[in-house]
Copies of this chain bind each other. A is one copy, B any other.
């Protein structure tokens, strides 16, 4: 060891860049996420991009990792705090109909992830892990079969909710959720 022994000048800068990249992706899409635009949004010089990341792909991938991490945190919390089957079902109704678990911007980010995953192995793994996480959060409360069905219902209905812009009727969603979580294997 010698002078300047590996201590970064601005710790946390890498994280701030990733956050800026995610915000940008949620607002404008992956297509808008260039080194320069992300750097400007994060308030860091262009050189920081290539210094902290191996390339653009790594930045975008890390941004998606952050998105999935946030989402799965909320997901798990909501389902984990449910103490009964009824509460679990109500959590799911809230996930589908509410605006708390996932915002329209974040929903759009998930589409970007699914698209981007086609040309980035790392991002494909993140997309895959996101599906695993949501599925395993559901198996805490339901049978594997029911979990798969309700997982599909959540995925599809949140998409229709946020793409159409109008929240589905809570009673209808509750009925459907109850129906698919009452399947006998």
Chain A contacts to B: CB under 8 angstroms: 28-31, 108, 111-112, 114-115, 118-119, 127-128, 131, 145, 148-149, 151-157, 159-160, 163-164, 168-169, 172-173, 175-176, 179-180, 182-183
**Residue from B111, B114, B128, B156 in contact with A154 in the complex, judged by beta carbons closer than 8 Å:** B156
Residue numbers in B under 8 Å from A29 (CB-CB): 115, 118-119
Known contacts being A114-B111, A179-B180, is A145 close to B163, with CB within 8 Å? no
B151 adjacent to A153 (CB under 8 Å): no
**Residue from B112, B152, B164, B175 in contact with A115 in the complex, judged by beta carbons closer than 8 Å:** B112
A163 adjacent to B131 (CB under 8 Å): yes
Tell me the minimal C-beta distance from A119 to chain B in angstroms.
6
Residue numbers in B under 8 Å from A114 (CB-CB): 108, 111, 159, 163
Can you list 5 residue pairs at the A/B interface with Cβ under 8 Å?
A114-B159, A148-B172, A149-B173, A149-B176, A153-B153
A160 adjacent to B153 (CB under 8 Å): no
Residue numbers in B under 8 Å from A154 (CB-CB): 156
**Residue from B112, B156, B169, B179 in contact with A152 in the complex, judged by beta carbons closer than 8 Å:** B156
Residue numbers in B under 8 Å from A108 (CB-CB): 114-115, 118
**Residue from B118, B156, B179, B182 in contact with A156 in the complex, judged by beta carbons closer than 8 Å:** B156
